Amino acid sequence: MTETEAEVFVTDDTVELREILRVEPLDRDLFRALPVHYDGRPLFGGQIAAQCLLACGATVPGVRPPHSLHGYFLRRGDSARPVVYRVDRDRDGRSYSARRVVALQDGEVLFSMAASFRVRTDGAELDGEPPAPMPPPDECRPIPSGLPLEARVDEWPNRTQFFPTRFHIRPMGGLPPGDVLVHAAALTYMSDFSAGLPKLLAGEVLGPSLDHALWFHDVPKWDGWLRVDYEPGTAGGKRGWYSGAIRDEAGRRIASLAQEMVYRDDDSATTDSAATPG
**Tally of CB atoms within 10 A around 265:** 10
Structural element, H or E, at residue 102: strand 96-105
pLDDT of residue 212: 97
CB-based contact 9:79 (threshold 8 Å): no
Helix/strand/coil percentages in the chain, nearest 5: 15, 40, 45
Per-residue pLDDT reduced to its tens digit, 77-87: 999 999 999 99
CA separation for the pair 261, 129 (Å, rounded)? 26
Q: How many CB atoms lie within 10 A of CB 244?
A: 20
pLDDT at 6: 42
Of 51, 116, 61, nearest in space to 86 by CA: 51
Classify the C-alpha dihedral 165-166-171-172 as positive or negative.
negative
- 125 strand-pairing partners: none
Q: Inform me whether the pLDDT recorded for 8 exceeds 60.
A: no
Mean pLDDT calculated for residue range 39-59: 93
The beta strand positions in the chain, using DSSP E, are 24-27, 30-33, 66-73, 83-92, 96-105, 108-118, 141-143, 149-153, 166-171, 204-216, 226-236, 239-247, 253-265
What pLDDT sits at residue 158?
54
Q: Is a pLDDT exceeding 60 seen at residue 9?
A: no
Q: Which residue has the higher pLDDT, 239 or 158?
A: 239
What pLDDT, on a 0 to 100 scale, did the predictor assign at position 126?
66
- What would the pLDDT profile of 178-208 be if each residue is shown by its tens digit? 899 999 999 999 999 999 888 788 778 888 8
Q: Distance between CA atoms of 242 and 230, rounded to whole angstroms? A: 7
The answer to whether residue 262 scores a pLDDT higher than 80 is: yes
Does the pLDDT of residue 5 top 50, yes or no?
no
First CA to last CA across the chain, in angstroms?
Answer: 5
Span 93-144, pLDDT tens digits: 999 999 999 999 999 999 999 999 999 887 666 677 788 889 999 999 998 8
- pLDDT score of 161: 56
Amino acid at 81: R
Q: How confident is the model at residue 245 (pLDDT cuts 50, 70, 90)?
A: very high
